[in-house]
Structure 1
Amino acid sequence: ILIICLLIGETYENIPGQSKITFLLQAIRNTTAAEEARQMAAVLLRRLLSSAFDEVYPTLPSDVQTAIKSELLMIIQMETQSSMRKKVCDIAAELARNLIDEDGNNQWPEGLKFLFDSVTCNAVGQMATDFAPGFQKKFHEKVIAALLQTMEDQGNQRVQAHAAAALINFTEDCPKSLLIPYLDNLVKHLHSIMVLKLQELIQKGTKLVLEQVVTSIASVADTAEEKFVPYYDLFMPSLKHIVENAVQKELRLLRGKTIECISLIGLAVGKEKFMQDASDVMQLLLKTQTDFNDMEDDDPQISYMISAWARMCKILGKEFQQYLPVVMGPLMKTASIKPEVALLDTQDMENMSDDDGWEFVNLGDQQSFGIKTAGLEEKSTACQMLVCYAKELKEGFVEYTEQVVKLMVPLLKFYFHDDILQPLNTKPAESMPLLLECARVRGPEYLTQMWHFMCDALIKAIGTEPDSDVLSEIMHSFAKCIEVMGDGCLNNEHFEELGGILKAKLEEHFKNQELRQVKRQDEDYDEQVEESLQDEDDNDVYILTKVSDILHSIFSSYKEKVLPWFEQLLPLIVNLICPHRPWPDRQWGLCIFDDVIEHCSPASFKYAEYFLRPMLQYVCDNSPEVRQAAAYGLGVMAQYGGDNYRPFCTEALPLLVRVIQSADSKTKENVNATENCISAVGKIMKFKPDCVNVEEVLPHWLSWLPLHEDKEEAVQTFNYLCDLIESNHPIVLGPNNTNLPKIFSIIAEGEMHEAIKHEDPCAKRLANVVRQVQTSGGLWTECIAQLSPEQQAAIQELLNSA
């Protein structure tokens, strides 16, 4: 009866939800029943807890909940069949996952104690992934100790392998600072187990634990980064030995994982340490690569090799270019895999099992679009690697740009969205501006031809891409491409199509906001609904930021020539900055008008009636993001805006000062807005000095320096400071140069906060100011004496570097 009950879905479905848990537990516990029935009961129970936990579990009486938890733990202890025990562990992991709240508080402490006492590694590993990094922060001491102890269990290879796998899950998402104190102990255990398992491989041919331990070493190194340097020499000889000698077919996975491990360790410790073995490693990889064409399509080494080459490229930089002729053939072959697709009716789809490797997307009640995922993960990885080469090698990759573009552009239409295949959707777009940068070296004609091949496809993809994550990547990529290509890259047809698309995106943004407000009035509205609405809102705002990116790139390339085209969008942008709109709308609407002012110069005043009053009003807004956008706009208004803006510069000054002098202006959430206000005051004094009393404002402005959070505005203010010093401005230098120690401390603080890159011309100007004082001994001594040791070191660093 039990077997019939479990195998005939209709009967099972008729059992009330709350009773299903106890019914299925009974079936699992019934050791006299057929193994098939017990396993199916376990699968059904896990699915029930996964898909309908909130409907079935919280409604149970507390004593029944306690009994279920106890029974699960008891079954794990009593079960003799390993496959069945694994399934029950999975159920326990699913229940435990649902019993940890959003703050990471565990509602099943006895379950956790049981895990640590018996170390059911699958459950620990799953929880480490599901609740990272909170799980790691709370339980690092117990988990690491328990897993290392279990890995020492030489009597049970499978348990050792599970413990190593759980350690991988744990360290992958473990904050570096938490892992470092355990590094000595971890390394000691991993090394001794690796040596032991290498001997076992040679003597008995067993490899399961060694495969997992190699990946554990890679994961620890990846998290520890430069802290792994002292342990590098302990592992590298053995790892190289495995790659060199594990050539038999049954050792392909071990060899692939070891190649991955070596490349991750190299990336972790850096070029200087890795160079001692780089030549050997490259020869091993090259030898494997020459055998690549003989590898079977399902050889697990392929994906490990492809990823390892990309890491080697990151480590070696430009020196990697010499290996491209060897690497690119197999990589392009993998990236060019054609997926098998089919349009099936629902009945046909149901007849296909999961084992066939097909994934489906419903196209309505009757049809589904299917794609065979075999090989697609490798294709996805290969696309990532091509982007990596273009990014790292730049003009060194130029020989391959044409074939990569021809591969990537059609992939912009790849609509199958899945976490594993995400690079197939996002990397083609990401590659476009990088490939244009690579192609620059061949001259403008070649570059333009390549851009023409991309441009139409990118615009069409912006108009048709349904997934917001992929759409945002395509929009960002398109904006970057325009920045690379500059004025003239879009023709009239492009502008017309793009204008229609951006208009539709903005209209959709407002419509979605209205729909969400309607849903908030619905009788079913609750916290869960609000959470979902917030996610939708975040997605919409992110797309809005990409609309802003595209407009920024167009304004910066085309200047005021593009204003007639922009007018079709103007009413929608004005709507964004209305007072009743949410702060992200007002922030991004202001950013778009900031670009109009900055790049269209005096011509922007034609539209001032739409944005000037809101900009002045929003500089004192409650939202720091809105304040920042408004302050930046007032700064560029002074810098680029022309004479019509003069009275508004005068009006802006006291508003900016009010923000700067407010009590909480330098708190973490406010500092960027405040620094933009300080920079704007500097720009008004520099570019519109007749609009303000510079002598009165200047001492205050000096007291607010330096800026160090907003790097772009920091450069602006330091350049203006250099202007004032170089012109011997009396208020800045003070009587008899008494302000110089203060100026030195401003420069030192800027250096300490890395406010200016040493290659920036501004750094050289600041260093020259310091050197000039160096030549007058007494003044130099006085200035240096008033600095802290850290500030003195920062001044020396600036002198050495700029």
Structure 2
Amino acid sequence: MAEQQQFYLLLGNLMSPDNNVRKQAEETYDNIPGQNKITFLLQAVRDASAAEEVKQMAAVLLRRLLSSSFEEIYPGLTVEMQTAIKTELLTGIQQETSPTIRKKICDIAAELSRNLIDDDGNNQWPEVLKFLFDSVNAENVDFAPTFQKKFHDKVISALLQTMEDQSNPRVQAHAAAALINFTEDCPKSLLILYLDNLVQHLHVIMVAKLQELIQKGTKLVLEQVVTSIASVADTAEEKFVPYYDMFMPSLKHIVENAVQKELRLLRGKTIECISLIGLAVGKEKFMPDASAVMQLLLKTQTDFNDLEDDDPQISYMISAWARMCKILGKEFQQYLPVVMGPLMKTASIKPEVALLDTQDMENISEDDGWEFVNLGDQQSFGIKTAGLEEKATACQMLVCYAKELKEGFVEYTEQVVKLMVTLALTVSRVRVAAAESMPLLLECARVRGPEYLTQMWHFMCDALIKAIGTEPDSDVLSEIMHSFAKCIELMGDGCLNSEHFEELGGILKGKLEEHFKNQELRQAKRQDEDYDEQVEETLQDEDENDVYILTKVSDILHSVFSSYKEKVLPWFEQLLQLIVQLICPNRPWADRQWGLCIFDDVVEHCSPSSFKYAEYFLRPMIQSLCDTSPEVRQAAAYGVGVMAQFGGENYRPFCTEALPLLVRVIQAADSRSKENVNATENCVSAVGKLMRFRPECVNVNEVLPHWLSWLPLKEDKEEAVHTFDFLCDLIESNNPIVLGPENANLPRIFFIIADGVSNESIKSEDACSKRLANVIRQVQTSAGLWTQCISTLNETQQKAIQDLLSTA
């Protein structure tokens, strides 16, 4: 006992702010033998009298021990000791009262179970399976989806067996809940193997429980079974079609008849189930029932005003409507007058808010249902999150309607825009939905003409720019920036006035300066004596967030350049030195990639005016063609391509210089490996653009046969279209090198075209698809040549050629 108390003291010292105390504690901890460590740590985690922070520290260390030193320690333990550890963990999950510690014990159990799966996939801890079936309420045990792959046959049969235990409804309900968790993460290919057996069992149980509801009024198991059916249909998708008629009559019966107050949750879950099944099986199968289902939903909707605010049916109804919209498409428009009232009401719920100083905040915990946004100056904006889940769902549904119905949604755009603009200071999910809706609503409004569209944009624009400057959550910020960029692309030249540009310039400058400052701070933390693996993990997460925001700065600049062309260059100059800083050779690869992408846009959209900045970016761009990072190579190769296409005379010597470097990348041994293929394809496309737009820089006759041998492009669809356009030019001009002596290269050209169609690099709407179809039709006039070309293709490729002929 004294030893354990000393160990608690040691754990406390490991968390000490005093460096000397902590270092000494770390040395002492490191010298404890591994087997003793496990014993002490497990006792600490399970000791009800130990302080919470001590238990948390012990749990973190125990998981780390099992993760990093499992092979050295665990096999050396006695069988009794191994059994005791497993038992203690499973008991801990059931008995621990602190959610934080219980979650950590679940993590330890998950780590141990992973280590106890042998090379053949056999589980050496069968008790954990039984435990899962008997006690599915343990939170967040992280086994999916590996768990599904290893144990699917045992799990499904055991769960179905347990679900049929009519004598114990609570166990049945737990088993159904476990099945939901299992099927949600189960790969479709695995679920299909058991689908027939699974569905037949679920049907038998549903029918029995429906009878039970009618006779005894018991509903617990039926609620879970309905959700299980929905989950299976959601994963199985079109494979659920054969079972559709087995379930739909009973489900419609429940919605029609489960009208009592105590059956509201069952009715809501059944509505969800019907709409998920409809989405899974598709419009064709669902259509005969769609009208009846819509009438049932409409009836519920008509009674909506009588529903209490906390009625569980509300959120299920809102989501079901959105799924029905996806199934019915444009035909859903007729139901909007009924749907929009309650949806706007839910999306407009006024949350409880408060402006608090830091001292007040300490008295309110986030567990009490409050979320905080730091406003600086010792102040925070607090928002009560209760009821906001429905609000967030409603906002996402509005986004769904705008996306699916486009001009069919125009009647509602004004009121929805006004609502979305006011949602800037609510919880993150709502702010994300509000941002996402903006470009979609502009698309909906287009049908009313430019004046209406411009008015709507003016209403949004200030709010979006302001939000980019003030949004504290990086996930929400990236969505707002992305939406703003899409809006500018939609609205085009003239959509921003001088005040907008001034404010936007200051904000983007601030974002770039913050990016560099954050990198410096992270480098300083790496020199700190507290630095360890966990700190590095946090720093890498921060770095990823920062880079993601940088990509959105690039998105905004791309939309501004593509809309305003060279007119925007004087405004851009305030950012120029910061972009130049991004492409310095000592910067991380992501900085160089996105810095080059921004200069690519300058060349593409502002040429030949872009050449005045050539001193800043041309040398780095040429050198980056052979960079070790494929992302940097790709950005540089794209830059050479647009230089050739749009750059003008001044870029000619650089085009000549770039060619051998591009060829070197393409011909490297690993150029087509997964991580390199996109960069390589951009190099192939750039070589094509050099031959097409700057033939004086290239010995075309010498390069062309090589270029043909590098086709087709499979990954980068945009660049593939450029290569096909050029290929059409060459074929239509009867280029002898491309066609070969006596058209000997035509079978190869057919292969390239067929691959492009089957790989979806050529779409029917692309201009080149008609040109390629004409090439094929010309070959069809010569029977011998046609047979020769088609006979070299496999079945898929032959079908692709036929598809092209029928659609283009």
Query: Taking structure 1 as the reference length, what is the TM-score of the superposition?
Result: 0.89
**In the alignment, what sits opposite 1:98?**
108
Deviates more, 1:203-212 or 1:761-770: 761-770
- Mark the CA change 1:689 to 1:291 in structure 2 (over 3 Å): closer, same or farther: same
**In the alignment, what sits opposite 2:70?**
none
1:69 to 85, 99, 104: 85
- Mark the CA change 1:197 to 1:349 in structure 2 (over 3 Å): closer, same or farther: farther
Residue correspondence of structure 1 range 8-157 to structure 2 within 5 A: 22=43, 53-54=59-60, 69=85, 72=88, 94-101=104-111, 104-106=114-116, 112-123=125-136, 126-127=139-140, 130-157=142-169
**In the alignment, what sits opposite 2:202?**
190
CA contact (8 A) 2:219 2:266 kept: yes
Residue correspondence of structure 1 range 226-625 to structure 2 within 5 A: 226-343=238-355, 357-358=369-370, 370-414=382-426, 416=427, 422-625=428-631
Is the partner of 1:649 in helix, strand or coil? Answer: helix
1:57 Cα deviation from its structure 2 partner: 7.9
Residue 661, structure 1, aligned to residue 667, structure 2:
yes
Is the partner of 2:587 in helix, strand or coil? Answer: coil
- Mark the CA change 1:46 to 1:769 in structure 2 (over 3 Å): closer, same or farther: farther
- Mark the CA change 1:692 to 1:20 in structure 2 (over 3 Å): closer, same or farther: closer
**In the alignment, what sits opposite 2:636?**
630
Q: Deviations over 1:312-333 (max 9, x none)?
A: 1111111111110010000000
* Alpha-carbon distance in structure 2 between the residues aligned to 1:757 and 1:102: 50
Output the amino acid matched with 1:424. V
Q: Deviations over 1:72-105 (max 9, x none)?
A: 47969xxxxxx98696999777424224349943
- Mark the CA change 1:309 to 1:86 in structure 2 (over 3 Å): closer, same or farther: farther
Is the partner of 2:293 in helix, strand or coil? Answer: helix
Is the partner of 1:569 in helix, strand or coil? Answer: helix
Output the amino acid matched with 2:548. Y
- Mark the CA change 1:489 to 1:343 in structure 2 (over 3 Å): closer, same or farther: closer
Residue 173, structure 1, aligned to residue 185, structure 2:
yes
2:767 to 761, 765, 770: 761
- Mark the CA change 1:775 to 1:147 in structure 2 (over 3 Å): closer, same or farther: same
Is the partner of 2:354 in helix, strand or coil? Answer: strand
Is the partner of 1:567 in helix, strand or coil? Answer: helix
CA contact (8 A) 1:705 1:746 kept: yes
- Mark the CA change 1:367 to 1:455 in structure 2 (over 3 Å): closer, same or farther: closer
- Mark the CA change 1:48 to 1:332 in structure 2 (over 3 Å): closer, same or farther: farther
1:413 Cα deviation from its structure 2 partner: 3.1
CA contact (8 A) 1:412 1:458 kept: no
**In the alignment, what sits opposite 1:204?**
216
- Output the aligned Cα RMSD: 3.1
- Mark the CA change 1:772 to 1:19 in structure 2 (over 3 Å): closer, same or farther: closer
1:117 Cα deviation from its structure 2 partner: 3.1
- Mark the CA change 1:552 to 1:291 in structure 2 (over 3 Å): closer, same or farther: same
- Mark the CA change 1:49 to 1:144 in structure 2 (over 3 Å): closer, same or farther: farther
Q: Deviations over 1:13-62 (max 9, x none)?
A: 999999897589576xxxxxxxxxxxxx7xx8999756752257889997
Deviates more, 1:507-516 or 1:369-378: 369-378
1:733 to 732, 739, 742: 739
CA contact (8 A) 1:708 1:755 kept: yes
1:683 to 689, 694, 702: 689
CA contact (8 A) 1:165 1:216 kept: yes
| Structure 1 residue ranges without an equivalent (≥5) | 1-12, 28-40, 77-82, 417-421
* Alpha-carbon distance in structure 1 between the residues aligned to 2:733 and 2:358: 79
**In the alignment, what sits opposite 1:650?**
656
Residue 750, structure 1, aligned to residue 750, structure 2:
no
* Alpha-carbon distance in structure 2 between the residues aligned to 1:557 and 1:788: 44
Output the amino acid matched with 2:413. T
| Structure 2 residue ranges without an equivalent (≥5) | 1-10, 16-38, 67-72
**In the alignment, what sits opposite 1:163?**
175
CA contact (8 A) 2:63 2:107 kept: no
**In the alignment, what sits opposite 1:80?**
none
Is the partner of 1:462 in helix, strand or coil? Answer: helix
* Alpha-carbon distance in structure 2 between the residues aligned to 1:22 and 1:362: 39
**In the alignment, what sits opposite 1:699?**
705
1:255 Cα deviation from its structure 2 partner: 0.4
CA contact (8 A) 1:96 1:111 kept: no
* Alpha-carbon distance in structure 1 between the residues aligned to 2:580 and 2:707: 33
Residue 716, structure 1, aligned to residue 722, structure 2:
yes
Output the amino acid matched with 1:655. L
Q: Deviations over 1:726-760 (max 9, x none)?
A: 11111111222121111111111112211111222
CA contact (8 A) 1:72 1:92 kept: no
- Mark the CA change 1:19 to 1:615 in structure 2 (over 3 Å): closer, same or farther: closer
Output the amino acid matched with 1:781. T
* Alpha-carbon distance in structure 1 between the residues aligned to 2:96 and 2:217: 25
* Percentage of identical aligned residues: 77
1:713 Cα deviation from its structure 2 partner: 0.6
Q: Deviations over 1:621-680 (max 9, x none)?
A: 111111110000000000001111111111111111111111111111111111111111
1:505 Cα deviation from its structure 2 partner: 0.6
* Alpha-carbon distance in structure 2 between the residues aligned to 1:753 and 1:368: 52
CA contact (8 A) 1:632 1:676 kept: yes
**In the alignment, what sits opposite 2:33?**
none
1:411 Cα deviation from its structure 2 partner: 1.1
CA contact (8 A) 2:44 2:58 kept: no
* Alpha-carbon distance in structure 2 between the residues aligned to 1:354 and 1:466: 17
CA contact (8 A) 1:125 1:167 kept: no
* Alpha-carbon distance in structure 2 between the residues aligned to 1:550 and 1:789: 44
- Mark the CA change 1:316 to 1:124 in structure 2 (over 3 Å): closer, same or farther: same
Deviates more, 1:400-409 or 1:343-352: 343-352
1:791 Cα deviation from its structure 2 partner: 2.1
Is the partner of 2:472 in helix, strand or coil? Answer: coil
Is the partner of 1:371 in helix, strand or coil? Answer: strand
- Mark the CA change 1:86 to 1:209 in structure 2 (over 3 Å): closer, same or farther: farther
Output the amino acid matched with 1:404. V
Deviates more, 1:315-324 or 1:547-556: 315-324
CA contact (8 A) 1:125 1:166 kept: no
1:710 Cα deviation from its structure 2 partner: 0.5
Is the partner of 1:759 in helix, strand or coil? Answer: coil
* Alpha-carbon distance in structure 1 between the residues aligned to 2:81 and 2:474: 40
1:793 Cα deviation from its structure 2 partner: 2.1
* Alpha-carbon distance in structure 2 between the residues aligned to 1:103 and 1:595: 51
Is the partner of 2:607 in helix, strand or coil? Answer: helix
Q: How many aligned residue pairs are there?
A: 763
CA contact (8 A) 1:92 1:123 kept: no
1:134 Cα deviation from its structure 2 partner: 2.6
Query: Taking structure 2 as the reference length, what is the TM-score of the superposition?
Result: 0.88
- Mark the CA change 1:357 to 1:532 in structure 2 (over 3 Å): closer, same or farther: closer
Is the partner of 1:610 in helix, strand or coil? Answer: helix
Deviates more, 1:727-736 or 1:52-61: 52-61
CA contact (8 A) 1:253 1:301 kept: yes
Output the amino acid matched with 2:202. L
Output the amino acid matched with 1:385. M
Is the partner of 1:518 in helix, strand or coil? Answer: helix
